[in-house]
Structure 1
Amino acid sequence: MHTILIAAQKGGAGKSTLAAHLSTLADRDGKTLLVDTDPQGSLSFWRRRRTAQTPVLARASALAMPDVLGRARCSGVAWAVVDSPPHNTSLISSLMSRATLTVIPVRPGPFDLDAVGTTLAMARRLKAPMACIINAAPPFTCGDRQVSVVVETRAALSRMGAPVLPGQVSQRASLSHALISGQSVDEYDPHGRATSEIAAMWSMISELARNFPCQASD
């Protein structure tokens, strides 16, 4: 079983939105468990509105995570996508140590760049595999060119030594509209730009995860 952790120690990075959309794509690759560890419960809000039976959602605390992941592995789950809370260093550290890959969403802008250093340092200290995603970015301009703030954010992350996935997830209304109706964006607007961006990210994330050994449960 591969465990994908979505982590950022700053609120508003878009972790829950990414977790919901990525988990439905993961479920097409194999049985998937979506784990909500954020007390805000955004994923639980989405799951209650969802008519599809998958992905299955579990709420979990830090103490419950080893048991949740262990039972998931025993039941044949191929992918666990975990949404983490911000501002909880001990929980994020615990989740990181169990993750196959930690995905760190970064919004373009100085505040998010300033905050991401703490998450990067934690991953390095734990020797946890990680990848940054430029998230909630201004859409591409004519000619499919990234706007300057996205280019600058990517360059800044590279200077910090952070691995950054190509492309971006743009700020698009369809991402939110889908969640309100309990859908993922590929279900809500299968041929839209948001769907192609999320699908490209999942393709890269899943390929990276397969290159790392699955973490053992406690």
Structure 2
Amino acid sequence: MHVVLIAAQKGGSGKSTLAAHFGALAERDGRTLLIDADPQGSLSFWYERRAAEAPLLAKAGAGDVAGILKDAQAEGIAWTIIDSPPHNAPLIGSLMSRATMTVIPVRPGPFDLAAVGATLDMARSLKAPIACIINAAPPITRESETAIVAEARGLLTSMGAPVLPGQVSQRASLSHALITGQAVNEFEPDGRAAREIEAMWSAVVGLARAFPRKA
């Protein structure tokens, strides 16, 4: 079973949004479980509005994740995606140690870039495989990323952070999909948002498969 943790110690980075969209895409490749470990419950809010029966979802408190992962492994789950809380370094560290890889969404703004260092330091101390995603970015213009995205990518690279190519842009269709309990590839499969999300998930899959599966 591959375990993908979506983590950032700053709130508002878009973790739940990525978890929902990634979960629907992961289901194409095998049974998928979403774990909502964020007390805010945004992922559960989306799931309650979802008509489709997959992926599965489990709510988890701080001490529940290990048992949920053990059960998921026994039940033949192929992918588990964990939406983690911000501002809870001990729990994030525990989840990182259990994950195949950790995805760190970063908005291309000064506060988010300033805050990402703590998450990167934690990952280094745990020797946890990570990848940063530039999230909620201004849309690409004329097939090139905006200056603020290029600057963010350069700063992350200078911090030693692996950054996935491309970006997830701030697009209305992402929110419209979530409101209706869908993923954007279901809501608007031929749209730009769906293409960006699918490209990011494909990159995450490629990296996750390079690391040992987690029990």
Asked whether the equivalents of residues 7 and 84 of structure 1 are also in contact (C-alpha less than 8 Å), the reply is yes
Counterpart for residue 79 of structure 1: 79
3-state SS in 2 of match to 1:199 = helix
CA-CA distance at 1:215 after TM superposition: 2.5
Counterpart for residue 151 of structure 1: 150
Work out the number of aligned pairs and report it: 215
3-state SS in 2 of match to 1:17 = helix
1:153-185 residue CA offsets vs partner (Å, 9 max, x unmatched): 000000000000000000000000000000000
Within a 5 Å distance, the mapping from 1:42-121 to structure 2 comes to 42-121=42-121
- Give TM-score scaled by structure 1 length: 0.98
Separation in structure 2 between the aligned mates of residue 181 and residue 109 of structure 1, nearest angstrom: 29
- The AA in structure 2 aligned to 1:103 is V
- The AA in structure 1 aligned to 2:209 is R
CA-CA distance at 1:125 after TM superposition: 0.2
Counterpart for residue 199 of structure 2: 200
Separation in structure 2 between the aligned mates of residue 121 and residue 214 of structure 1, nearest angstrom: 23
2:5 matches 1:5: yes
- The AA in structure 2 aligned to 1:192 is G
- The AA in structure 2 aligned to 1:140 is I
Separation in structure 2 between the aligned mates of residue 153 and residue 47 of structure 1, nearest angstrom: 32
CA-CA distance at 1:62 after TM superposition: 2.1
Separation in structure 2 between the aligned mates of residue 63 and residue 10 of structure 1, nearest angstrom: 22
3-state SS in 2 of match to 1:102 = strand
Counterpart for residue 210 of structure 1: 209
CA-CA distance at 1:214 after TM superposition: 1.4
Separation in structure 2 between the aligned mates of residue 65 and residue 56 of structure 1, nearest angstrom: 15
Q: What's the % identity of the aligned pairs? A: 67
Unaligned runs of 5+ in 1: none
Separation in structure 1 between the aligned mates of residue 77 and residue 157 of structure 2, nearest angstrom: 34
- The AA in structure 1 aligned to 2:148 is V
Separation in structure 1 between the aligned mates of residue 113 and residue 212 of structure 2, nearest angstrom: 29
CA-CA distance at 1:109 after TM superposition: 1.0
Separation in structure 1 between the aligned mates of residue 43 and residue 13 of structure 2, nearest angstrom: 15
3-state SS in 1 of match to 2:135 = strand
CA-CA distance at 1:70 after TM superposition: 0.4
- The AA in structure 1 aligned to 2:119 is T
- The AA in structure 2 aligned to 1:61 is G
1:177-210 residue CA offsets vs partner (Å, 9 max, x unmatched): 0000000000000000000000000100001000
Separation in structure 2 between the aligned mates of residue 26 and residue 125 of structure 1, nearest angstrom: 29
Structure 1 segments of 4+ aligned residues over 3 angstroms from their partners: none
- Give TM-score scaled by structure 2 length: 0.99
Unaligned runs of 5+ in 2: none
- The AA in structure 1 aligned to 2:164 is L
RMSD: 0.5
Within a 5 Å distance, the mapping from 1:128-207 to structure 2 comes to 128-141=128-141, 143-207=142-206
